[in-house]
Amino acid sequence: MGYVTTDDGTRIFYKDWGSGRPVVLSHGWPLNADSWDAQALFLASRGYRVVAHDRRGHGRSDQTWHGNEMDTYADDLAAVLDALDLREATLVGFSTGGGEVVRYVGRHGTDRVAQVVLVSAVPPFMLRTDDNPGGVPVEVFDGIRAGSLADRSQLYQDLADGPFFGNNRPGADVSQSIRDAFWLQGMQSGHRNAYECVAAFSATDFRADLDAVDVPALVIHGDDDQVVPFDVGGKASADRIKGATLTVYPGAPHGITDTHKEQLGDDLLAFLRSHDSDRAPTEENR
């Protein structure tokens, strides 16, 4: 574990587990790198170097007043990749982290990137607008912002108890501990940072960034995602990225890093190995 300092002096916390070809994990709102622990442990135990950072204003990174938007998030991700000199990396983004990953590709290219994975991710564009009529109405995001200002502790509790893990569906069985972990990570974010991030994940148009993806891409999305609806997120992204593979988890909610962690780990590992099998053997991957 350590910190990378960006050009504006912001300290970005990161975990760095295992060794091998790098896998870089970008987390969702309002969480932090800990939300990836199940996948990080699984992949690092199977021959990969797993790097997971806390977005600025989240977890253990600095709570800056400025820079709570996607361009800066992507530049912070670039700072991590550059500082650790990560090459031939697989970038994996969950929810808001998916936006961070594709905006990175749009702004910094794929010189350091071998593959891209989007998990329950916010691209191409969540907000309903005249040129995005299938998007989510702004009133939904205004409600999240109002909840954050009124009682953000209760907001995070309500999200965890309800739509995030699909715990409001008949037969759902999401442990209190998983829901508590969501709340705890949310409360570790900065109030302003998390509030501003609502606009970042909902009102950023990633369509041009998806067009710039020129490496193999895997899109994973649950078809009962109540946070980023399947048609708005995974299906639309897979339709837009040339050659992308779409994997649908039937009946799955948004938070599949917890609810479907075994299946997600297996699918990530298979995708990683699809690239490694095409590489010439080296000392690093033997």
User: What residues are labeled active site?
Assistant: 95, 225, 254
Helix (H) / strand (E) element for 3: namely strand 2-5
Contact of 33 with 55, CB cutoff 8 Å: no
Q: Give the residue from 26, 14, 24, 27 showing the smallest Cα distance to 44.
A: 24
Contact of 209 with 106, CB cutoff 8 Å: yes
Q: Give the residue from 86, 45, 113 showing the smallest Cα distance to 275.
A: 113
CA distances from 226 to 21, 26, 180 (A): 34, 20, 19
For the packed helices 96-108 and 70-83, what is the interaxial angle rounded to 10 degrees? Answer: 70
Q: Which residues pair with 127 in a beta bridge?
A: 136
Contact of 250 with 223, CB cutoff 8 Å: yes
Tokens of 192: 């302003």
C-alpha–C-alpha distance, residues 64 and 69, integer Å: 11
Distance of CA 127 to the CA centre of its chain: 18
Coil/strand/helix, residue 265: helix
What values do phi and psi take at 80, rounded to 5?
-65, -50
